[in-house]
């Protein structure tokens, strides 16, 4: 089962002129043979409460209309208390089964600052997803080690491996070795970096994701295929890990 662990939907898609609607995503999923996909709103929605509400409502509606194909992720900010209220509503309604933070929005993801979010994740048994960016020390894998160690029972998934343009991935490997509950999604990364992370950390720590619509689902999947993984590892990276971490089998 192919599960894409990183997609965006909603009315505000930078660099795209229109909405990204659920039907469009489902069509691209079908072409690529993808069964399920995580959907989330764009981080820029965090700047304005009405945008955050509207975006999450759009995600919730899409998940509600396609519960067998889509599962949601609620965007939160540790300094925006209302975002946590919205996220809990989405978790209660089954519209989301993960949380997402973007530390590049000017905060350090320290254990203390992240306490409320991590406690929600612990209470609901959902992973916390983090935008990864090796060039931003707040979004670096090494910035998450203390957080992961403070909450060892909460799974954390760092998006974009990272990073989008980083060549050696040393920080990814070092952080992954130091924090067993830290996982990585592959979206936007070079295939060679994905392969290296799988070798160093193990296939059970890596989730395939596309970051569509900006990145192409079939191209991002081809980055996994060119690695010539064993069938077992390919299945883990492209679906098995998402099933486990997002508890998709239990929730459906």
Summarize as ranges the residues that interact with another protein (CB under 8 A): 15-16, 133-135, 163-168, 188-193, 196, 213-216, 218-220, 222-223, 226
Q: Classify burial at 11, counting beta carbons within 10 Å of its beta carbon; exposed 0-12, middle 13-18, buried 19 or more.
A: middle
Q: Classify burial at 106, counting beta carbons within 10 Å of its beta carbon; exposed 0-12, middle 13-18, buried 19 or more.
A: exposed
Instruction: Quote the least distance from Cβ 226 to another protein, whole Å.
Output: 5
Instruction: Quote the least distance from Cβ 83 to another protein, whole Å.
Output: 27
Distance in Å from the first CA to the final CA of the chain: 15
- Toward another protein, which CB reaches closer, 81 or 135? 135
- Toward another protein, which CB reaches closer, 134 or 229? 134
Residue with tokens 């050696």: 168
Instruction: Quote the least distance from Cβ 220 to another protein, whole Å.
Output: 8
- Toward another protein, which CB reaches closer, 15 or 249? 15
- Toward another protein, which CB reaches closer, 150 or 170? 170
- What is the maximal distance between C-alpha atoms in the chain? 46
Instruction: Quote the least distance from Cβ 166 to another protein, whole Å.
Output: 7
Instruction: Quote the least distance from Cβ 196 to another protein, whole Å.
Output: 8
Instruction: Quote the least distance from Cβ 164 to another protein, whole Å.
Output: 6
Question: What is the C-alpha R_g of the chain?
Answer: 16
Characterise 56 by phi-psi region: left (phi > 0), alpha (psi -120 to 50), beta (else): alpha
- The Cα–Cα gap between 50 and 224 comes to 38
- Toward another protein, which CB reaches closer, 27 or 192? 192
Helices (H) and strands (E) in the chain, counts: 11, 9
- The Cα–Cα gap between 24 and 62 comes to 11
Q: Which residues pair with 56 in a beta bridge?
A: none
- Toward another protein, which CB reaches closer, 192 or 251? 192
């Amino acid at each position: 089962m192919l599960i894409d662990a990183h997609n965006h939907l909603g009315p505000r898609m930078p660099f795209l002129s229109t909405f990204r609607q659920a039907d469009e995503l489902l069509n691209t999923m079908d072409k690529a043979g993808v069964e399920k996909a995580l959907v989330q709103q764009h981080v820029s929605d965090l700047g304005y409460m009405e945008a955050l509400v509207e975006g999450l409502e759009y995600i919730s509606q899409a998940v509600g209309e396609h519960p067998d194909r889509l599962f949601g992720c609620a965007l939160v900010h540790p300094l925006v208390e209302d975002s946590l209220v919205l996220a809990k509503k989405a978790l209660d309604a089954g519209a989301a089964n993960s949380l997402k933070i973007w530390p590049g929005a000017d905060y350090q993801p320290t254990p203390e600052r992240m306490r409320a979010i991590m406690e929600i994740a612990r209470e609901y048994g959902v992973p916390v997803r983090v935008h990864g960016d090796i060039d931003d020390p707040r979004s670096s894998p090494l910035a998450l080690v203390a957080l992961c160690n403070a909450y060892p029972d909460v799974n954390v998934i760092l998006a974009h491996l990272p990073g989008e343009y980083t060549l050696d991935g040393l920080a990814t490997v070092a952080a992954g070795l130091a924090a067993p509950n830290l996982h990585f999604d592959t979206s936007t990364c070079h295939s060679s970096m994905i392969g290296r992370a799988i070798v160093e950390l193990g296939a059970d720590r890596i989730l395939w994701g596309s970051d569509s619509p900006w990145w192409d689902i079939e191209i991002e999947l081809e980055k996994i295929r060119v690695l010539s993984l064993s069938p077992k590892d390919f299945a883990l990276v492209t679906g098995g890990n998402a099933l486990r971490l997002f508890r998709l089998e239990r929730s459906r």
